[in-house]
């Protein structure tokens, strides 16, 4: 079973992930992990925290000589900002009163978390709920990307919409794989400029912006997932993983919600036999039918809400006094849609690798590859 667990607080010493279940003999490229970590920190609209952190992954277990051993892999990312927060965040002796937060922020985990965990300081909630945690998820997801690539499965993505500026054009996998040069991971340069102007306008108003990202998977054979046990559906598994990302409020496959507004003849992908191969000339299902991959590209989109930490604050209540006030402000981004795209991509990589490993098994990579090659 392939699984992961992350640990760490936003301003704590470090973020850590343990990945269990990777087969032995998987080639691991640490530089690639660091490249994805750098892409997660980039993009137009990011805040001052990214000028402090220079994320690099340290592999502390499970890899020797660039190859996995079959044992759990441990990844660690240092929080550079901890040097400024150690007096308040130290696990051993911390001045917890100095940075206490009681003006709970709408849209955050602050209020619900305080009530659930019996706390009076929202910092004990927000430090873990922070999207800073996604850095180590990207590192772990990049390991899964390497596993999938070894089988011939590729994952890529782009930003489809920012703050209402939407790109309705359909791009090929090869086109979106080249989008990293764009400051907003948007293929259309004109739309990218308009989106950047929208972000600038939000920043001027001390407001924030969200958007929609699209992730594609190419090369996955049919039959991953299940129609027999509905808890094993591929789209359910992928959607659940993506919905677990901070700030994600919706996930759709293929036509998604648009399918509800069309007739069946305009929704379902007709099947043809071409030289003994079953093919579809459309992919409105987004590569998943009956909870299983059908051999077409998987097309998944995720909607990210605007970041709830606004520099001008929103109306709220002090948790301790009950008095009305303005929400506390933390150093934040105006728009983190590029980071979101990388995190969604990485999460899809890991969730998909889980389904692949579940079906194939295998203790070492040559065994896994041989099993995958035998599938129709």
Residues 203-229 have pLDDT tens digits of 999 999 999 999 999 999 999 999 999
Vertex 290: Cα angle to 270 and 294 (nearest 5) = 55
In the structure, what pLDDT confidence band is assigned to residue 49 with cuts at 50, 70 and 90? low
* Chain position carrying tokens 């996995």: 68
pLDDT band, very low/low/confident/very high, at 249 (cuts 50, 70, 90)? very high
How is the chain split into domains, by residue range? Answer: 3-374
Q: Look up residue 212 and give its two tokens.
A: 């929609």
The token duo for 115 is 């009530």
Backbone angles phi, psi at 214, to 5 degrees: -125, 135
Cα Dmax for the chain? 73
Nearest Cα neighbor of 160 from 184, 129, 134, 133 is 184
Query: What was the pLDDT predicted at 51?
Result: 60
What are φ and ψ of residue 346, in 5° steps? -65, -40
Question: What is the dihedral sign for C-alpha 21, 22, 25, 30?
Answer: negative
By the 8 A CB rule, do 247 and 133 touch? no
- Map tokens 């590729």 to a residue: 154
For residue 52, the model assigns a pLDDT of 65
CATH superfamily of 3-374: Chorismate synthase AroC (3.60.150.10)
Is a pLDDT exceeding 90 seen at residue 50? no
Range in 27-31, 165-169, 299-303, 324-328 with the lowest mean pLDDT: 324-328
> What digits encode the pLDDT tens for the residues 101-158?
999 999 999 999 999 999 999 999 999 999 999 999 999 999 999 999 999 999 999 9
The candidate with the shortest Cα–Cα distance to 108, out of 356, 331, 310, is 310
3-state secondary structure the chain: CCEEEEECCCCCCEEEEEEECCCECCECCHHHHHHHHHHHHCCCCCCCHHHHCCCCEEEEECEECCEECCCCEEEEEECCCHHHHHHHHCCCCCCCCCCCCCECCCCCCHHHHHHHHCCCCCHHHHHHHCHHHHHHHHHHHHHHHHHHHHCCCEEEEEEEEECCEECCCCCCHHHHCCHHHCCCCCCCHHHHHHHHHHHHHHHHCCCCCCEEEEEEEECCCCCCECCCCHHHCHHHHHHHHHHCCCCEEEEEECCHHHHHHCCHHHCCCCEEEECCEEEECCCCCCCEECCEECCCCEEEEEEECCCCCCCCCCEEEECCCCCEEECCCCCCCCCCHHHHHHHHHHHHHHHHHHHHHHHHCCCEHHHHHHHHHHCC
Identify the band that residue 329 occupies on the pLDDT scale cut at 50, 70 and 90.
Answer: confident
Give per-residue pLDDT as tens, 169-181.
999 999 998 899 8
Among the listed residues 288, 361, 315, the one whose alpha carbon sits nearest the alpha carbon of residue 107 = 315
Q: Is the pTM of this model over 0.75?
A: yes
């Amino acid at each position: 079973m392939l699984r992961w667990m992350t640990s760490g607080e936003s301003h704590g010493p470090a973020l850590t992930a343990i990945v269990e279940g990777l087969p032995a003999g998987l080639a691991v490229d640490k530089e690639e992990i660091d490249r994805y970590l750098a892409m997660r920190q980039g993009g137009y609209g990011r805040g001052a925290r990214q000028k402090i952190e220079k994320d690099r992954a340290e592999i502390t277990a499970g890899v020797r000589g660039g190859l996995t051993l079959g044992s759990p892999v441990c990844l660690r990312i240092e929080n550079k900002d901890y040097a400024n927060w150690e007096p308040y965040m130290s696990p051993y002796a911390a001045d917890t009163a100095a940075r206490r937060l009681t003006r709970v922020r709408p849209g955050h985990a602050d209020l619900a978390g305080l009530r659930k965990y019996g706390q009076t300081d929202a910092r004990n909630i927000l430090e873990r709920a922070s999207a800073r945690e996604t850095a180590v998820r990207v590192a772990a997801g990049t390991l899964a990307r390497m596993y999938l690539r070894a089988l011939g499965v590729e994952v890529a993505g782009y930003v489809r919409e920012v703050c209402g500026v939407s790109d309705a054009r359909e791009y090929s996998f090869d086109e979106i794989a080249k989008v990293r040069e764009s400051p907003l991971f948007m293929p259309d340069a004109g739309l990218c400029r308009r989106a950047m102007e929208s972000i600038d306008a939000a920043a001027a108003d001390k407001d924030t912006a969200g958007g929609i990202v699209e992730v594609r998977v190419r090369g996955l054979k049919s039959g991953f997932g299940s129609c027999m046990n509905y808890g094993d559906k591929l789209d359910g598994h992928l959607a659940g993983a993506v919905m677990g990302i901070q700030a994600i409020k919706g996930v759709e496959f293929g036509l998604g919600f648009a399918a509800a507004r069309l007739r069946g003849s305009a929704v379902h992908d007709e099947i043809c036999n071409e030289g003994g191969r079953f093919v579809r000339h459309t992919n409105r299902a987004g590569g998943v039918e009956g909870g299983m991959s059908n051999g077409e590209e998987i097309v998944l989109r995720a909607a990210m809400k605007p970041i709830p930490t606004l520099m001008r604050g929103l109306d709220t209540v002090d948790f301790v006094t009950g008095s009305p006030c303005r929400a506390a402000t933390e150093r934040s981004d105006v728009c983190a849609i590029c980071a979101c795209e990388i995190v969604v991509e990485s999460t899809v990589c890991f969730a998909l690798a889980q389904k692949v490993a579940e079906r194939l098994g295998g203790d070492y990579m040559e065994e896994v590859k041989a099993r995958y090659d035998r599938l129709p």
